[in-house]
């Protein structure tokens, strides 16, 4: 036990009239919404990296948090101290899931053999922690972007020896995820892209990525991992152009390599907005392609053009996202993790709790709002009516392939109709959402 969180009592649900900032006002794990509990719907996870690894540094200055487990050496003792603190935090917050990168949890390693040894050493400890609790692993991943060896990319690196190191990290991280009972495995291609086209062979790199993801899928089947693999789209940052730009781009990539039935997406709203998309657009595109997986729930800042990774607090945006998530059938193996970090001045233990409590309460409200929108059928009914023409007549015949272009054209000549434009009712529909955001 680290002691760092000792002054914080386990967080309880106290209801919306509570004044206690260290209590849930809306997240009532066992409350039923559309037939499932809030906990079952949301599958909320704490992310190890921002919450326990980041020390508050930014590009202009060093760490500000002074956590007792952040020593100068990232050795096994430090990794174990961090693990104790993390599980002590989970015990108090009561989150059902967590997620991690290999390098978050282990002692620093420089060589491939050291990587295997250090990762294995901490895995036994993690397993022991998990065995004595109810907490589950939402997903695991490998960090293939922080070490200088990855400055020119991970699986898209010009040097095959670097890609071999990636293969080792993915192999071990996926096996660890499987061993710890994880539901998913994430591939975020942090440096799978380029800074200048002048030094880059784009076709070669795309093919490396295609082959590498195929190898990861083959390995999943070889070891019998039954969870999902998800790619996390992001358009840029750290590289100028990233190959996994957004959901539609990832789908094109998956189709090209025959992986669209094997790999889904882990959507992050801040990445969506950086790509010029709304959060709900990305969710609905993933639903349309059948690749919806999981969500990293953070937010950006409307005035800043980078991945600020802030805890979510926009009820309307998250109501919309949850509406499309529920409409698509909700989370299966996926869930809601907070890929978000407290601000650099939020340096106290309490701040970590305020952040997660706020995010969990927000998602609980957004879930109830979204369920209300689904149940009222006002939005879905409107959309259904709008497209009703495709269930019959020439609409149906065109879509079933019965009509050629000329036959469809003949239908226009035959009816000689100049169809009346019909209102899209945008403001009316927006009002329905506004009234549902409570």
Q: Which is nearer to ligand XLS, 141 or 319 (CB)?
A: 141
Chain position carrying tokens 């997660």: 356
Considering the rule CB under 6 A, would residue 282 count as an interface residue with ligand XLS?
no
Considering the rule CB under 5 A, would residue 268 count as an interface residue with Ni ion?
yes
Considering the rule CB under 6 A, would residue 331 count as an interface residue with ligand XLS?
no
Q: Which is nearer to ligand XLS, 24 or 338 (CB)?
A: 338
Query: Which residue in 262, 339, 361, 368 binds Ni ion (CB under 5 A)?
Result: 339
Applying CB under 6 A, the site for ligand XLS has a residue count of 10
Query: Which residue in 232, 244, 246, 262 binds ligand XLS (CB under 6 A)?
Result: 232
| Residues 103 to 162 in contact with ligand XLS, rule: CB under 6 A | 141
- Which residue's CB atom is positioned nearest to ligand XLS? 188
310's contact among Ni ion, ligand XLS, none, with CB below 5 to 8 A by partner kind, is: none
391 is catalytic: no
Are 35 and 327 contacting, i.e. CB atoms less than 8 angstroms apart?
no
Minimum CB distance to ligand XLS, residue 271 (Å): 7
Query: Which residue in 28, 96, 192, 268 binds ligand XLS (CB under 6 A)?
Result: 268
The Cα 150–Cα 155 span in angstroms is: 9
Largest CA distance in the chain: 81
Site track for Ni ion across 297-336, x = CB under 5 A: ----------x-----------------------------
Task: Tell me how many degrees the CA angle 397-398-403 measures, rounded to the nearest 5.
Answer: 85
Who contacts 143 (Cβ-Cβ below 8 Å, separation ≥6)? 49, 101, 102, 103, 104, 169
| Residues 355 to 414 in contact with ligand XLS, rule: CB under 6 A | none
Catalytic pick among 88, 96, 102, 104: 104
The Cα 92–Cα 292 span in angstroms is: 31
Minimum CB distance to ligand XLS, residue 188 (Å): 4
Minimum CB distance to Ni ion, residue 413 (Å): 53
Beta pairing class for 32-33 and 36-37:
antiparallel
Residues found in the chain: 438
**From residue 422, how far is each of 91, 385, 387, 426, 429 by CA, in Å?**
55, 12, 12, 12, 15
141's contact among ligand XLS, Ni ion, none, with CB below 5 to 8 A by partner kind, is: ligand XLS
Minimum CB distance to ligand XLS, residue 337 (Å): 8
Q: Which is nearer to ligand XLS, 24 or 253 (CB)?
A: 253
- Bridge partners (DSSP) of residue 310 are 299
Applying CB under 5 A, the site for Ni ion has a residue count of 4
104 is catalytic: yes
Minimum CB distance to Ni ion, residue 189 (Å): 11
Minimum CB distance to ligand XLS, residue 296 (Å): 5
Catalytic pick among 41, 50, 70, 101: 101
The Cα 107–Cα 181 span in angstroms is: 22
- Bridge partners (DSSP) of residue 263 are 229
139's contact among ligand XLS, Ni ion, none, with CB below 5 to 8 A by partner kind, is: none
Minimum CB distance to ligand XLS, residue 424 (Å): 34
Are 143 and 101 contacting, i.e. CB atoms less than 8 angstroms apart?
yes
70's contact among Ni ion, ligand XLS, none, with CB below 5 to 8 A by partner kind, is: none
Q: Which is nearer to Ni ion, 26 or 145 (CB)?
A: 145
Site track for ligand XLS across 289-308, x = CB under 6 A: -------x----------x-
**From residue 85, how far is each of 33, 78, 167, 194, 247 by CA, in Å?**
33, 11, 30, 37, 35
Q: Which is nearer to ligand XLS, 282 or 296 (CB)?
A: 296
Minimum CB distance to Ni ion, residue 313 (Å): 17
Interaction site with Ni ion (CB under 5 A): 268, 296, 307, 339
| Active site amino acids | 101, 104
Interaction site with ligand XLS (CB under 6 A): 101, 141, 186, 188, 232, 234, 268, 296, 307, 339
């Amino acid at each position: 036990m680290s002691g760092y969180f000792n002054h914080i009592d386990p967080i309880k649900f106290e209801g919306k009239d509570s004044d206690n900032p260290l209590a849930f006002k809306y997240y009532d794990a066992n409350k039923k919404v559309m037939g499932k509990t809030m906990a079952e719907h949301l599958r909320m996870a704490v992310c190890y990296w921002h919450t326990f690894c980041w020390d508050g540094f930014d590009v202009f200055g060093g760490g500000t948090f002074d956590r007792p487990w952040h020593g100068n050496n990232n050795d096994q003792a430090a990794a174990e101290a961090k693990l104790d603190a993390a599980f002590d935090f989970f015990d108090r917050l009561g989150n059902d899931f967590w997620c991690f990168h290999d390098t978050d949890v282990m002692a620093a390693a420089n060589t491939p053999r050291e990587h295997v040894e250090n990762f294995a050493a901490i895995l036994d400890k993690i397993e022991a922690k998990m065995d004595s609790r109810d907490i589950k692993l939402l997903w695991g991943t490998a960090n293939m972007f922080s070490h200088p060896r990855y400055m020119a990319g991970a699986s898209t690196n010009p040097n095959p020896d670097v890609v071999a190191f990636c293969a080792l990290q993915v192999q071990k991280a996926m096996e660890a995820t499987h061993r710890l009972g994880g539901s998913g495995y994430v591939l975020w291609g942090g440096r799978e892209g380029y800074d200048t086209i002048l030094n880059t062979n784009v076709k070669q790199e795309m093919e490396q990525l295609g082959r590498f993801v195929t190898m990861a899928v083959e390995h999943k089947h070889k070891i019998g991992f039954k969870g999902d693999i998800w790619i996390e789209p992001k358009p840029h940052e750290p590289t100028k152009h990233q190959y996994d730009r957004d959901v539609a781009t990832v789908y094109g990539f998956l189709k090209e390599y025959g992986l669209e039935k094997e790999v889904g997406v882990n959507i992050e709203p801040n990445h969506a907005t950086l790509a010029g998309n709304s959060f709900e657009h990305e969710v609905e595109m993933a639903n349309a392609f059948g690749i919806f997986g999981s969500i990293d729930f953070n937010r950006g800042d409307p005035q800043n053009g980078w991945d600020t990774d802030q805890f979510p607090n926009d009820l309307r945006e998250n109501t919309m996202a949850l509406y499309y998530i529920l409409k698509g059938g909700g989370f299966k193996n996926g869930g809601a993790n907070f890929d978000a970090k407290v601000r650099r001045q939020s340096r106290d233990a309490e701040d970590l709790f305020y952040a997660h409590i706020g995010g969990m309460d927000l998602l609980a409200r957004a879930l109830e709002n979204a369920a209300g929108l689904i149940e009222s059928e006002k939005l879905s009914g409107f959309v259904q009516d709008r497209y009703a023409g495709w269930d019959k007549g020439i609409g149906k015949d065109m879509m079933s392939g019965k009509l050629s272009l000329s036959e469809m054209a003949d239908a226009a000549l035959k009816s000689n109709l100049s169809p009346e434009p019909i209102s899209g009712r945008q403001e009316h529909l927006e009002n329905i959402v506004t009234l549902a955001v409570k």
